[in-house]
Amino acid sequence: LKNDIEDLFCKMNLSHDSQESDINNSETKSLLKEENNVYDEADLYENAVASCGFGYFQIKLLFICGWAIASDSAEIQTVSFVLPSACDLYLTSNNKGWLNAIIFIGMILGGYGFGGAADIKGRRFILLMSMSLNGLFGVCSAFSPSFGYFLVFRLLSGIGVGAAMPVLFSYFVEFMSMNRRGPMIGFMASFWMFGNILASAAAWIIIPRVHIGFYIFGLWFGSWRIFVVICAIPSLSSAFFLYFMPESPKYLQNIGQYKRAEKVFKLMFNCNFGQVESIPPEISEFGDRQPRVDTPFDIHHGDVCKFSQCLCSFSLTLKKVCCSTKKLFQKPHLRTTLILLFVWFTLSFGYYGLWMWFPEIFQRIQQGGSSCGGETSFNETKSIWTCSQQVEFGTAVYMESFLIALSNLPGNIITVLVINKLGRRQLLAISMVISGICVFFFWFVTTPTETLIMACLFSGVSVAGWNALDALALEQYPTNLRSTSFGLQSGVGRVAAVLGNVVFGEMVDLHCSIPLLTVAVMLFIGGLSAIKLQKTEKTALK
């Protein structure tokens, strides 16, 4: 009996161990199957997009998305040109610091919220909304009668800018094959320079002509207000052009809409090769796959009121955005996320902290003061006419800003040529370290010419780092996290930009040695940390 009982327990233990082993094997197989499925989907997409070729469609997409990038760049740069010229707003140095910062606060809200929504609602829909929002409130800000109104409208415009930035890059890169991605991201990012040049040239031509203008609603609509309206037009035109573009095929694939993805690929193929009867089998494979529906229930049921439908849809979107954000801080993405957030913070603090204050610094030097001293203040007793005369005859400020914007060209050319050969990580690290050295030597400049040379050098070098960071940030994550991650990282970058502008606004009337040295150190450390990121030059989009 004793032996029978021992045999029974032995068999029970063996059965239990076997069940545990089966469960573990089942979980392992499930994880491996899921991982293999991700790579199968990536290969399926990569083969299809490569079979579409490279031609008219990608070039058209480049110019449309590039024009949208240029419009965002012009909107950001607009305020920095308005600061020395908006005499009727009676701006102090503190007001100027907050005006420079407020658009980045809007970009924080727009970048994270809309960037996450683009992973759920689609790239194209969010782009149309964000570009329209940017242009509309950009125009409204030109009619602001006071500093408070101007601040609010620039905040709302900034939400549109922040919403568009991460989605534009995600949308664009998802139409590109592996071997074209790096250089094409570099080409697209170079339109940021074009936006800066456009804004600088418009400011140079329009703002000094203080006599042009007209009265509307009892408000003198002078040269700087006309300039603000002109800078908002590219955003509205971008929304118009994007309306005629298709949804991202990679996004459609990710949500299981294979038939729609196949149609987009066919459109790309026909644009590049003309109307051809035979479609490559790599494209036809999409139509053969079974569509997948992820929505757990129908929120558009006929018995539910429209308000409840919208509220339910919003809550579902918000829940999914939070879930996607949580995944960024879990393995295997945790390490990459933390490094990228630090790099975005350091680069944004240094770049925007200096860039947005260049026109103001040049004006102070031109008026005989120091770039780091001399308080700027306005009050009701100071003549607006005196301020307008300074704007009218201070055209060198806009010429210098134009040259700084133009200095981005060598950095963009270098990016396109070496981003695949040198690698994204190395290009980012080298650019940030050299930018930090340039900022350090800003402390020693004493003349307008020296300041201009150092500003051009800083601008030309740092733009290569931005281009490399854009590529790295997009290629590190799968499709269902790409816009969310880019939005979060750019949001942290905007926080850094706000801090940079506020710090410069507080310190510029005292002495700028402390913020300059801080920026130099942060850029240097950020550049070294970029080496820890993964290589993505020859990796298919997941």
Q: Confidence band (pLDDT; 50, 70, 90) for 425?
A: confident
407 by DSSP, 3-state: which? coil
Q: Does one domain contain both 219 and 170?
A: yes
* 389-419 pLDDT tens trace: 555 545 666 777 788 888 888 888 888 888 8
In whole angstroms, give the CA distance from residue 223 to residue 226: 5
How far is it between the farthest Cα atoms of the chain? 112
Predicted confidence (pLDDT) at residue 302 exceeds the cutoff of 50: no
The angle at the Cα of 541, spanning 540 to 542, to the nearest 5 degrees, equals 110
Q: Does one domain contain both 95 and 151?
A: yes
Element (H or E) spanning 486, and its range? helix 479-507
In whole angstroms, give the CA distance from residue 540 to residue 542: 6
Q: Does one domain contain both 348 and 246?
A: no
Q: Does one domain contain both 262 and 128?
A: yes
Predicted confidence (pLDDT) at residue 531 exceeds the cutoff of 60: yes
Pick 458 or 83 by higher pLDDT. Answer: 458
Please give the average per-residue pLDDT across 295-316, as a whole number: 51
* pLDDT for the residue 111: 76
* 104-114 pLDDT tens trace: 788 888 877 77
- Contact of 494 with 111, CB cutoff 8 Å: yes
Q: Does one domain contain both 217 and 365?
A: no
Sorted by sequence, the CB contacts under 8 Å of residue 72 that are 6+ apart come out as 134, 161, 164, 165, 168, 192, 195, 235
* pLDDT for the residue 233: 92
Query: Can you list the positions of beta strands (E) in 161-302?
Result: 214-216, 219-221
Residue 479 domain-assigned (yes or no): yes
Q: Does one domain contain both 110 and 249?
A: yes
Element (H or E) spanning 393, and its range? helix 384-393
In whole angstroms, give the CA distance from residue 80 to residue 97: 10
- Contact of 92 with 376, CB cutoff 8 Å: yes
Q: Does one domain contain both 345 and 216?
A: no
- Contact of 70 with 195, CB cutoff 8 Å: yes
* pLDDT for the residue 537: 67
- Tell me the C-alpha to C-alpha distance, in Å, between residue 366 and each of 100, 271, 369, 394, 513: 21, 53, 7, 8, 20
In whole angstroms, give the CA distance from residue 1 to residue 20: 29
In whole angstroms, give the CA distance from residue 482 to residue 192: 21
Locate 98 and state its tokens.
């907050």
Q: Confidence band (pLDDT; 50, 70, 90) for 442?
A: confident
DSSP state of 280: P
- Contact of 74 with 358, CB cutoff 8 Å: no
Q: Does one domain contain both 270 and 350?
A: no
Q: Does one domain contain both 211 and 89?
A: yes
215 by DSSP, 3-state: which? strand
* 6-32 pLDDT tens trace: 454 444 444 444 444 444 444 444 434
In whole angstroms, give the CA distance from residue 338 to residue 331: 12
* 491-510 pLDDT tens trace: 788 788 778 777 776 766 66
Residue 463 domain-assigned (yes or no): yes
Number of domains the chain is built from: 2
Question: Which residues pair with residue 219 across a beta bridge?
Answer: 216
Residue 386 domain-assigned (yes or no): no
Locate 239 and state its tokens.
């929304």
Locate 96 and state its tokens.
């100027």
In whole angstroms, give the CA distance from residue 341 to residue 274: 43
Q: What is the CA radius of gyration of the chain?
A: 27
Q: What share of the chain is helix, strand, coil (3-state, %, to 5)?
A: 75, 0, 20
Predicted confidence (pLDDT) at residue 522 exceeds the cutoff of 70: yes
Highest mean pLDDT among 178-182, 380-384, 519-523: 519-523
Mean pLDDT, the chain, as a whole number? 77
Residues spanned by the domain of 346: 326-372+391-541
* 152-181 pLDDT tens trace: 999 999 888 888 887 888 899 888 888 888
Predicted confidence (pLDDT) at residue 220 exceeds the cutoff of 90: no
Q: What is the CATH number of the domain that holds 413?
A: 1.20.1250.20
Locate 107 and state its tokens.
């970009």
Locate 35 and state its tokens.
């991982």
Residue 315 domain-assigned (yes or no): no
Predicted confidence (pLDDT) at residue 367 exceeds the cutoff of 80: no
Closest CA to 473 of 226, 166, 227, 234: 166
* pLDDT for the residue 57: 92
Give the DSSP per-residue string, 332-354: TTHHHHHHHHHHHHHHHHHHHHH
Q: Does one domain contain both 439 and 343?
A: yes
Residue 35 domain-assigned (yes or no): no
Q: Does one domain contain both 365 and 225?
A: no
- Contact of 504 with 353, CB cutoff 8 Å: yes
Tally of residues, the chain: 542
Burial category of 344 from C-beta neighbours within 10 Å (exposed 0-12, middle 13-18, buried 19 and up): buried
- Helices 334-355 and 513-529 pack at an angle, to 10 degrees, of 150
Q: Does one domain contain both 205 and 334?
A: no
Pick 223 or 507 by higher pLDDT. Answer: 223
DSSP state of 211: T
Residue 3 domain-assigned (yes or no): no
Final residue of a structural domain among 289, 318, 336: 289
Q: Which residue intervals of 52-92 are DSSP H helices?
A: 56-82
CB burial readout 191-204, b (16+ within 10 A) else e: bbbbbbbbbbbbbb
